[in-house]
């Protein structure tokens, strides 16, 4: 079971309907991916870097692509 499936099941088990799950799940996944970026970089990100990561995740870049761009 991957993270998205676990989150979907947890939201359903908590009593949230399909509409809420469908709208909340993408945001939750981006938050988890942003945390993955922070962990991979190994330090706290500046406000500007956090905004950069948010935008990159929204356009569909992967965690590894974002980390590579931050390390340049």
Domain that holds residue 66: 3-71
Count structural domains, the chain.
1
Contacts by 8-13 with C-beta closer than 8 Å and gap 24+?
none
Give the pLDDT confidence score for residue 14 in this predicted structure.
96
CB-CB contact of 45 with 38 (8 Å): yes
Give the tens place of pLDDT for each residue, 53-66.
999 999 999 999 99
Supply φ then ψ for residue 64, to 5 degrees.
Answer: -65, -35
pLDDT digits (tens, 9 = 90+) for 11-62: 999 999 999 999 999 999 999 999 999 999 999 999 999 999 999 999 999 9
Give pLDDT, residue 1: 73
């Amino acid at each position: 079971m991957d993270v998205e499936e676990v989150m979907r099941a947890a939201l359903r088990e908590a009593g949230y309907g399909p509409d809420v799950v469908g709208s909340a799940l993408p945001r939750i996944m981006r938050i988890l991916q942003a945390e993955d970026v922070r962990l991979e970089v190994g330090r706290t990100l500046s406000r500007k870097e956090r905004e950069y990561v948010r935008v990159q995740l929204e356009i569909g870049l992967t965690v590894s692509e974002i980390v590579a761009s931050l390390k340049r």
